[in-house]
Structure 1
Protein backbone atom coordinates (compact mmCIF):
# COMPACT_ATOMS: atom_id res chain seq x y z
CA UNK A 1 0.00 0.00 0.00
CA UNK A 2 2.81 2.40 0.87
CA UNK A 3 4.45 1.64 -2.47
CA UNK A 4 1.24 2.60 -4.28
CA UNK A 5 0.76 5.81 -2.29
CA UNK A 6 4.37 6.93 -2.73
CA UNK A 7 4.61 5.95 -6.41
CA UNK A 8 6.48 8.63 -8.38
CA UNK A 9 7.61 10.49 -5.26
CA UNK A 10 11.29 9.99 -4.57
CA UNK A 11 12.67 9.78 -1.02
CA UNK A 12 9.18 10.15 0.48
CA UNK A 13 8.34 6.55 1.40
CA UNK A 14 9.07 6.93 5.11
CA UNK A 15 7.14 10.22 5.32
CA UNK A 16 4.15 8.65 3.57
CA UNK A 17 4.31 5.62 5.87
CA UNK A 18 4.39 7.66 9.08
CA UNK A 19 1.70 10.05 7.83
CA UNK A 20 -0.50 7.08 6.96
CA UNK A 21 0.07 5.62 10.41
CA UNK A 22 -0.98 8.96 11.91
CA UNK A 23 -4.16 8.96 9.82
CA UNK A 24 -5.00 5.37 10.77
CA UNK A 25 -4.58 6.20 14.45
CA UNK A 26 -6.63 9.40 14.20
CA UNK A 27 -3.72 11.76 14.83
CA UNK A 28 -2.91 15.06 13.15
CA UNK A 29 0.35 15.47 11.23
CA UNK A 30 2.54 18.52 10.69
CA UNK A 31 4.87 18.55 7.66
CA UNK A 32 7.78 20.96 7.90
CA UNK A 33 9.80 21.77 4.81
CA UNK A 34 10.58 24.32 2.10
CA UNK A 35 8.24 24.94 -0.86
CA UNK A 36 8.26 22.35 -3.63
CA UNK A 37 8.89 19.27 -1.50
CA UNK A 38 5.52 17.58 -2.24
CA UNK A 39 3.86 18.28 1.11
CA UNK A 40 0.44 18.85 -0.44
CA UNK A 41 0.84 15.80 -2.69
CA UNK A 42 1.63 13.65 0.34
CA UNK A 43 -1.63 14.75 1.95
CA UNK A 44 -3.64 13.98 -1.19
CA UNK A 45 -2.02 10.57 -1.49
CA UNK A 46 -2.88 9.72 2.12
CA UNK A 47 -6.53 10.62 1.47
CA UNK A 48 -6.49 8.46 -1.67
CA UNK A 49 -5.66 5.49 0.52
CA UNK A 50 -9.21 5.50 1.86
CA UNK A 51 -12.51 4.76 0.21
CA UNK A 52 -13.84 7.99 -1.34
CA UNK A 53 -13.25 10.27 1.65
CA UNK A 54 -14.58 13.80 1.95
CA UNK A 55 -11.39 15.80 1.39
CA UNK A 56 -10.76 19.49 2.07
CA UNK A 57 -7.70 21.52 1.17
CA UNK A 58 -6.89 25.18 1.73
CA UNK A 59 -3.85 27.41 1.25
CA UNK A 60 -3.75 29.74 4.24
CA UNK A 61 -2.54 33.33 4.35
CA UNK A 62 -3.02 36.33 6.60
CA UNK A 63 -6.00 37.43 4.52
CA UNK A 64 -7.80 34.07 4.82
CA UNK A 65 -11.28 34.35 6.28
CA UNK A 66 -13.24 31.84 8.40
CA UNK A 67 -15.67 31.50 5.48
CA UNK A 68 -12.95 29.92 3.35
CA UNK A 69 -12.30 27.22 5.94
CA UNK A 70 -15.55 26.70 7.85
CA UNK A 71 -18.10 27.71 5.21
CA UNK A 72 -20.15 30.84 4.47
CA UNK A 73 -22.84 32.15 6.77
CA UNK A 74 -26.35 31.06 5.73
CA UNK A 75 -28.26 34.12 4.54
CA UNK A 76 -31.56 32.30 5.11
CA UNK A 77 -30.72 31.58 8.74
CA UNK A 78 -29.31 35.06 9.23
CA UNK A 79 -32.66 36.57 8.25
CA UNK A 80 -34.16 34.63 11.15
CA UNK A 81 -31.49 35.97 13.53
CA UNK A 82 -29.48 32.73 13.51
CA UNK A 83 -25.75 32.82 12.85
CA UNK A 84 -25.23 29.44 11.16
CA UNK A 85 -22.59 28.42 8.64
CA UNK A 86 -23.18 26.25 5.57
CA UNK A 87 -20.44 23.74 6.31
CA UNK A 88 -21.04 21.23 3.49
CA UNK A 89 -17.84 20.87 1.48
CA UNK A 90 -15.70 22.67 4.06
CA UNK A 91 -13.46 21.60 6.94
CA UNK A 92 -16.23 20.83 9.50
CA UNK A 93 -17.63 18.12 7.19
CA UNK A 94 -14.32 16.74 5.87
CA UNK A 95 -12.89 13.34 6.77
CA UNK A 96 -9.38 14.30 5.66
CA UNK A 97 -8.01 17.81 5.37
CA UNK A 98 -4.85 19.62 4.37
CA UNK A 99 -4.06 23.14 5.56
CA UNK A 100 -1.03 24.60 3.82
CA UNK A 101 1.00 27.41 5.45
CA UNK A 102 -1.15 27.05 8.54
CA UNK A 103 0.79 29.52 10.71
CA UNK A 104 0.15 32.35 8.26
CA UNK A 105 -3.58 32.17 8.95
CA UNK A 106 -5.55 34.67 11.02
CA UNK A 107 -6.06 34.21 14.79
CA UNK A 108 -9.82 33.83 14.24
CA UNK A 109 -9.24 30.69 12.18
CA UNK A 110 -6.46 29.26 14.33
CA UNK A 111 -8.48 29.62 17.54
CA UNK A 112 -11.49 27.91 15.98
CA UNK A 113 -9.28 25.00 14.90
CA UNK A 114 -8.40 24.04 18.47
CA UNK A 115 -11.62 22.25 19.34
CA UNK A 116 -12.25 21.00 15.81
CA UNK A 117 -9.00 19.12 15.30
CA UNK A 118 -8.71 17.82 18.86
CA UNK A 119 -12.22 17.02 20.10
CA UNK A 120 -13.67 16.75 16.56
CA UNK A 121 -16.39 19.22 17.48
CA UNK A 122 -17.48 22.40 15.68
CA UNK A 123 -19.67 25.08 17.22
CA UNK A 124 -22.03 26.22 14.50
CA UNK A 125 -24.17 29.00 15.85
CA UNK A 126 -25.94 27.68 18.93
CA UNK A 127 -25.25 24.04 18.12
CA UNK A 128 -22.21 21.85 18.59
CA UNK A 129 -21.76 19.55 15.59
CA UNK A 130 -19.75 16.35 15.53
CA UNK A 131 -17.05 16.60 12.85
CA UNK A 132 -16.22 13.42 10.86
CA UNK A 133 -12.54 14.43 10.65
CA UNK A 134 -10.28 11.39 10.79
CA UNK A 135 -6.98 13.15 10.26
CA UNK A 136 -5.70 16.61 9.44
CA UNK A 137 -2.35 17.29 7.80
CA UNK A 138 -0.90 20.78 8.06
CA UNK A 139 2.25 22.08 6.40
CA UNK A 140 4.54 25.07 6.60
CA UNK A 141 8.12 26.13 5.98
CA UNK A 142 8.20 27.66 9.45
CA UNK A 143 7.23 26.81 13.01
CA UNK A 144 5.05 29.09 15.15
CA UNK A 145 6.91 31.96 16.78
CA UNK A 146 7.19 32.03 20.54
CA UNK A 147 4.74 34.17 22.51
CA UNK A 148 2.19 34.10 19.68
CA UNK A 149 -0.36 32.03 21.56
CA UNK A 150 -0.06 29.11 19.13
CA UNK A 151 1.48 26.57 21.50
CA UNK A 152 -1.86 24.88 22.19
CA UNK A 153 -2.57 24.40 18.49
CA UNK A 154 0.95 23.19 17.75
CA UNK A 155 0.58 20.59 20.51
CA UNK A 156 -2.40 19.13 18.63
CA UNK A 157 0.01 17.84 15.98
CA UNK A 158 1.37 14.70 17.58
CA UNK A 159 3.18 13.61 14.41
CA UNK A 160 5.75 16.12 13.16
CA UNK A 161 7.86 15.30 10.11
CA UNK A 162 10.59 17.12 8.23
CA UNK A 163 10.15 17.01 4.43
CA UNK A 164 13.55 17.89 2.94
CA UNK A 165 14.41 18.54 -0.70
CA UNK A 166 15.50 15.58 -2.83
CA UNK A 167 19.11 14.76 -2.00
CA UNK A 168 20.15 12.27 -4.72
CA UNK A 169 20.91 13.64 -8.16
CA UNK A 170 19.44 10.63 -10.01
CA UNK A 171 16.11 11.16 -8.24
CA UNK A 172 16.16 14.83 -9.15
CA UNK A 173 16.86 13.99 -12.80
CA UNK A 174 14.04 11.46 -12.78
CA UNK A 175 11.67 14.04 -11.33
CA UNK A 176 12.53 16.47 -14.13
CA UNK A 177 12.24 13.91 -16.91
CA UNK A 178 9.13 12.01 -15.80
CA UNK A 179 5.58 13.05 -16.60
CA UNK A 180 3.75 15.14 -13.99
CA UNK A 181 2.28 13.04 -11.19
CA UNK A 182 -1.53 12.94 -11.52
CA UNK A 183 -3.83 13.61 -8.58
CA UNK A 184 -5.67 10.29 -8.91
CA UNK A 185 -3.63 7.12 -8.56
CA UNK A 186 -3.50 4.60 -11.46
CA UNK A 187 -4.11 1.82 -8.91
CA UNK A 188 -5.86 2.95 -5.80
CA UNK A 189 -5.41 1.05 -2.55
CA UNK A 190 -8.36 1.35 -0.20
CA UNK A 191 -8.48 0.86 3.55
CA UNK A 192 -11.82 -0.18 5.00
CA UNK A 193 -11.83 1.89 8.19
CA UNK A 194 -12.35 -0.16 11.31
CA UNK A 195 -12.10 -3.51 9.52
CA UNK A 196 -8.36 -3.84 9.14
CA UNK A 197 -8.71 -5.13 5.59
CA UNK A 198 -7.41 -3.79 2.31
CA UNK A 199 -8.39 -4.27 -1.27
CA UNK A 200 -7.48 -2.80 -4.63
CA UNK A 201 -9.98 -0.73 -6.53
CA UNK A 202 -10.13 -0.95 -10.31
CA UNK A 203 -8.21 1.64 -12.27
CA UNK A 204 -10.37 4.83 -12.51
Structure 2
Protein backbone atom coordinates (compact mmCIF):
# COMPACT_ATOMS: atom_id res chain seq x y z
CA UNK A 1 0.00 0.00 0.00
CA UNK A 2 2.83 2.38 0.87
CA UNK A 3 4.58 1.63 -2.42
CA UNK A 4 1.39 2.34 -4.36
CA UNK A 5 1.05 5.75 -2.71
CA UNK A 6 4.69 6.51 -3.50
CA UNK A 7 4.16 5.54 -7.13
CA UNK A 8 1.06 7.74 -7.36
CA UNK A 9 2.94 10.68 -5.85
CA UNK A 10 5.83 10.27 -8.27
CA UNK A 11 3.42 10.02 -11.18
CA UNK A 12 1.64 13.23 -10.19
CA UNK A 13 4.99 14.97 -9.68
CA UNK A 14 6.13 13.98 -13.18
CA UNK A 15 2.84 15.05 -14.67
CA UNK A 16 2.94 18.50 -13.07
CA UNK A 17 6.60 18.86 -14.06
CA UNK A 18 5.78 18.15 -17.72
CA UNK A 19 2.78 20.47 -17.50
CA UNK A 20 4.81 23.38 -16.13
CA UNK A 21 7.40 22.85 -18.85
CA UNK A 22 4.70 22.91 -21.53
CA UNK A 23 3.01 26.11 -20.36
CA UNK A 24 6.37 27.82 -19.74
CA UNK A 25 7.65 27.19 -23.27
CA UNK A 26 9.21 30.31 -24.76
CA UNK A 27 8.89 32.28 -21.51
CA UNK A 28 12.33 32.90 -20.12
CA UNK A 29 12.92 33.30 -16.38
CA UNK A 30 9.21 32.84 -15.69
CA UNK A 31 9.18 29.14 -14.77
CA UNK A 32 9.13 29.69 -11.00
CA UNK A 33 6.37 32.33 -11.18
CA UNK A 34 4.28 30.02 -13.35
CA UNK A 35 4.89 27.01 -11.09
CA UNK A 36 3.91 28.87 -7.91
CA UNK A 37 0.85 30.46 -9.56
CA UNK A 38 -0.29 27.07 -10.85
CA UNK A 39 0.12 25.55 -7.38
CA UNK A 40 -1.91 28.40 -5.90
CA UNK A 41 -4.65 27.82 -8.47
CA UNK A 42 -4.75 24.12 -7.62
CA UNK A 43 -5.18 25.08 -3.97
CA UNK A 44 -7.98 27.53 -4.82
CA UNK A 45 -5.89 30.53 -3.79
CA UNK A 46 -5.61 33.91 -5.50
CA UNK A 47 -2.33 35.31 -6.80
CA UNK A 48 -1.11 38.89 -7.18
CA UNK A 49 1.62 39.54 -9.75
CA UNK A 50 3.63 42.69 -9.14
CA UNK A 51 6.03 44.07 -11.72
CA UNK A 52 6.72 46.78 -14.29
CA UNK A 53 4.89 46.90 -17.64
CA UNK A 54 6.05 44.45 -20.29
CA UNK A 55 7.03 41.59 -18.00
CA UNK A 56 4.41 39.15 -19.38
CA UNK A 57 2.04 39.18 -16.40
CA UNK A 58 -1.06 38.76 -18.56
CA UNK A 59 0.65 36.06 -20.64
CA UNK A 60 1.46 34.14 -17.46
CA UNK A 61 -2.23 34.08 -16.56
CA UNK A 62 -3.30 32.89 -20.01
CA UNK A 63 -0.70 30.16 -19.99
CA UNK A 64 -1.83 28.90 -16.57
CA UNK A 65 -5.41 28.70 -17.85
CA UNK A 66 -4.07 26.41 -20.61
CA UNK A 67 -3.10 23.88 -17.93
CA UNK A 68 -6.78 23.00 -17.49
CA UNK A 69 -9.26 21.43 -19.88
CA UNK A 70 -11.24 24.30 -21.40
CA UNK A 71 -11.96 26.44 -18.33
CA UNK A 72 -14.40 29.34 -18.50
CA UNK A 73 -11.84 32.16 -18.61
CA UNK A 74 -12.39 35.89 -18.04
CA UNK A 75 -9.85 38.66 -18.49
CA UNK A 76 -10.18 42.41 -18.12
CA UNK A 77 -7.88 45.44 -18.04
CA UNK A 78 -9.02 47.76 -15.27
CA UNK A 79 -8.99 51.55 -15.42
CA UNK A 80 -10.60 54.33 -13.44
CA UNK A 81 -13.47 54.52 -15.93
CA UNK A 82 -14.31 50.80 -15.71
CA UNK A 83 -17.94 50.07 -14.92
CA UNK A 84 -19.47 47.08 -13.12
CA UNK A 85 -21.20 46.13 -16.41
CA UNK A 86 -17.83 45.43 -18.01
CA UNK A 87 -16.80 43.01 -15.27
CA UNK A 88 -20.00 41.51 -13.86
CA UNK A 89 -22.23 41.74 -16.92
CA UNK A 90 -24.85 44.15 -18.28
CA UNK A 91 -28.21 44.71 -16.64
CA UNK A 92 -30.93 42.60 -18.25
CA UNK A 93 -33.35 44.81 -20.16
CA UNK A 94 -36.09 42.18 -20.09
CA UNK A 95 -35.75 41.89 -16.30
CA UNK A 96 -35.98 45.67 -15.92
CA UNK A 97 -39.32 45.58 -17.70
CA UNK A 98 -40.48 43.34 -14.86
CA UNK A 99 -39.05 45.70 -12.22
CA UNK A 100 -36.13 43.38 -11.47
CA UNK A 101 -32.50 44.54 -11.41
CA UNK A 102 -30.58 41.49 -12.65
CA UNK A 103 -27.32 41.20 -14.52
CA UNK A 104 -26.68 38.90 -17.46
CA UNK A 105 -23.51 37.28 -16.21
CA UNK A 106 -22.76 34.75 -18.97
CA UNK A 107 -19.18 35.22 -20.27
CA UNK A 108 -18.37 37.60 -17.40
CA UNK A 109 -16.53 37.20 -14.11
CA UNK A 110 -19.41 35.66 -12.07
CA UNK A 111 -19.45 32.68 -14.48
CA UNK A 112 -15.69 32.24 -14.82
CA UNK A 113 -13.68 29.29 -13.50
CA UNK A 114 -10.44 31.22 -13.83
CA UNK A 115 -9.96 34.98 -14.15
CA UNK A 116 -7.29 37.60 -14.66
CA UNK A 117 -7.71 41.26 -13.71
CA UNK A 118 -4.94 43.54 -14.91
CA UNK A 119 -4.14 46.85 -13.17
CA UNK A 120 -6.63 45.89 -10.49
CA UNK A 121 -5.99 48.87 -8.18
CA UNK A 122 -6.98 51.34 -10.90
CA UNK A 123 -10.58 50.17 -10.80
CA UNK A 124 -13.53 51.97 -9.24
CA UNK A 125 -14.69 51.32 -5.64
CA UNK A 126 -17.97 49.89 -6.96
CA UNK A 127 -16.08 47.06 -8.67
CA UNK A 128 -13.52 46.50 -5.93
CA UNK A 129 -16.16 46.25 -3.18
CA UNK A 130 -18.06 43.60 -5.15
CA UNK A 131 -14.82 41.72 -5.81
CA UNK A 132 -14.17 41.45 -2.09
CA UNK A 133 -17.21 39.24 -1.54
CA UNK A 134 -16.85 37.38 -4.81
CA UNK A 135 -13.29 36.17 -4.30
CA UNK A 136 -13.58 35.65 -0.54
CA UNK A 137 -16.97 33.97 -0.18
CA UNK A 138 -17.34 32.84 -3.80
CA UNK A 139 -20.78 34.47 -4.03
CA UNK A 140 -22.27 37.23 -6.18
CA UNK A 141 -25.39 39.24 -5.31
CA UNK A 142 -27.38 39.40 -8.53
CA UNK A 143 -30.44 41.46 -7.83
CA UNK A 144 -32.22 39.86 -4.89
CA UNK A 145 -30.46 36.52 -5.38
CA UNK A 146 -27.11 35.51 -3.93
CA UNK A 147 -25.47 33.20 -6.46
CA UNK A 148 -22.57 30.84 -5.91
CA UNK A 149 -19.78 31.46 -8.41
CA UNK A 150 -17.59 28.73 -9.96
CA UNK A 151 -14.43 30.84 -9.57
CA UNK A 152 -11.57 28.68 -8.33
CA UNK A 153 -8.66 31.10 -8.71
CA UNK A 154 -8.14 34.74 -9.56
CA UNK A 155 -4.90 36.25 -10.79
CA UNK A 156 -4.49 40.00 -10.53
CA UNK A 157 -1.61 42.15 -11.69
CA UNK A 158 -0.32 45.67 -11.29
CA UNK A 159 2.86 47.72 -11.39
CA UNK A 160 1.88 49.24 -8.06
CA UNK A 161 0.57 48.16 -4.68
CA UNK A 162 -2.58 49.60 -3.06
CA UNK A 163 -2.19 53.03 -1.55
CA UNK A 164 -2.43 53.22 2.22
CA UNK A 165 -5.74 54.32 3.79
CA UNK A 166 -7.71 53.83 0.57
CA UNK A 167 -9.84 51.00 1.93
CA UNK A 168 -8.10 48.36 -0.19
CA UNK A 169 -6.34 46.48 2.60
CA UNK A 170 -9.09 43.85 2.92
CA UNK A 171 -9.03 43.06 -0.80
CA UNK A 172 -5.24 42.95 -0.90
CA UNK A 173 -5.29 40.46 1.98
CA UNK A 174 -7.32 38.07 -0.17
CA UNK A 175 -4.29 37.56 -2.40
CA UNK A 176 -2.41 35.03 -0.30
CA UNK A 177 0.25 34.48 -2.95
CA UNK A 178 2.17 37.57 -4.07
CA UNK A 179 4.96 37.36 -6.60
CA UNK A 180 7.44 39.73 -8.19
CA UNK A 181 7.65 39.54 -11.98
CA UNK A 182 10.91 41.22 -12.95
CA UNK A 183 12.37 42.05 -16.37
CA UNK A 184 14.60 39.43 -17.96
CA UNK A 185 18.01 39.53 -16.29
CA UNK A 186 20.23 37.35 -18.46
CA UNK A 187 21.42 38.86 -21.72
CA UNK A 188 21.25 35.56 -23.63
CA UNK A 189 17.59 35.14 -22.72
CA UNK A 190 16.83 38.72 -23.76
CA UNK A 191 18.58 38.30 -27.12
CA UNK A 192 16.81 35.01 -27.77
CA UNK A 193 13.49 36.59 -26.90
CA UNK A 194 13.78 39.62 -29.21
CA UNK A 195 14.94 37.39 -32.07
CA UNK A 196 12.04 34.97 -31.65
CA UNK A 197 8.43 35.06 -32.76
CA UNK A 198 6.02 36.58 -30.20
CA UNK A 199 5.02 34.04 -27.56
CA UNK A 200 1.56 32.61 -28.08
CA UNK A 201 -1.08 32.82 -25.37
CA UNK A 202 -2.09 29.24 -26.15
CA UNK A 203 0.40 26.71 -24.85
CA UNK A 204 0.57 23.35 -26.58
CA UNK A 205 -0.59 21.08 -23.80
CA UNK A 206 -1.38 17.44 -24.71
CA UNK A 207 -4.93 16.48 -23.82
CA UNK A 208 -3.83 13.68 -21.51
CA UNK A 209 -1.58 16.11 -19.62
CA UNK A 210 -4.13 18.87 -19.01
CA UNK A 211 -5.81 18.82 -15.62
CA UNK A 212 -9.46 17.89 -15.23
CA UNK A 213 -11.92 20.69 -15.82
CA UNK A 214 -11.51 22.51 -12.55
CA UNK A 215 -12.26 19.57 -10.32
CA UNK A 216 -9.04 20.64 -8.62
CA UNK A 217 -8.16 17.07 -7.91
CA UNK A 218 -5.00 15.59 -9.38
CA UNK A 219 -5.09 12.00 -10.55
CA UNK A 220 -2.24 9.57 -11.00
CA UNK A 221 -2.81 9.35 -14.75
CA UNK A 222 0.46 8.62 -16.52
CA UNK A 223 1.79 11.18 -18.96
Q: TM-score, normalised by structure 1?
A: 0.95
The separation in 1 between residues aligned to 2:169 and 2:105, in whole angstroms, is 27
The residue aligned with 1:69 is 87
- Match of residue 25, structure 1, among 43, 46, 68: 43
**Is 1:7–2:29 an aligned residue pair?**
no
**Displacement of 1:72 after TM fit?**
0.1
Q: Contact between 2:88 and 2:110, CA under 8 Å: does it hold in 1?
A: yes
Q: For the structure 1 residues 195 and 153, does the alpha-carbon distance in structure 2 shift closer, same or farther, using more than 3 Å as the test?
A: closer
Indicate the residue corresponding to 2:173 in structure 1: 155
Distance change in 2, residues 1:194/1:139 (3 Å): closer
Distance in 2, Cα, partners of 1:146 & 1:156: 16
Report the alpha carbon displacement of residue 200 of structure 1 after superposing the two structures with TM: 9.3
Query: Which is greater in Rg?
Result: 2
Within 1, Cα distance between the matches of 2:73 and 2:222? 20
Greater share of residues in strand: 1
Matches within 5 A, 1:52-201: 52-188=70-206, 189-192=209-212, 193-197=215-219
CA contact (8 A) 2:42 2:216 kept: no
List runs of 5+ in structure 1 lacking aligned partners: none
If asked which structure has higher relative contact order (CA below 8 Å, sep 6+), I would say 2
Distance, in Å, in 2 between the alignment partners of 1:100 and 1:139 is 5
Deviations, residues 55-89 of structure 1 (Å, cap 9, x unaligned): 00000000000000000000000111100000000
Q: Separation in 1 of the partners of 2:23 and 2:41?
A: 13
Question: Displacement, 1:5?
Answer: 1.1
Contact 1:62 1:105 in 2 (8 A): yes
Structure 1 position 180, deviation (Å):
1.2
Note the alpha carbon deviations across 1:137-196, whole angstroms, 9 max, x for none: 000000000000000000000000000000000000011011111122233441123441
3-state DSSP class of the match of 1:117? helix
Task: Tell me how far apart the structure 1 counterparts of residues 155 and 99 of structure 2 sit (CA, whole Å).
Answer: 35
CA distance in 2: counterparts of 1:63 and 1:199, whole angstroms: 46
Does 1:41 find its partner at 2:59?
Answer: yes
Cα distance change, pair 168–106 in 1 and its aligned pair in 2 (3 A): same
Number of matched pairs: 201
Find the residue that maps to 1:197 and give its secondary structure.
coil
Unaligned runs of 5+ in 2: 1-18
Residues 1:195 and 1:111: Cα distance change in structure 2 (over 3 Å): closer
Q: Secondary structure of the equivalent of 2:163?
A: coil
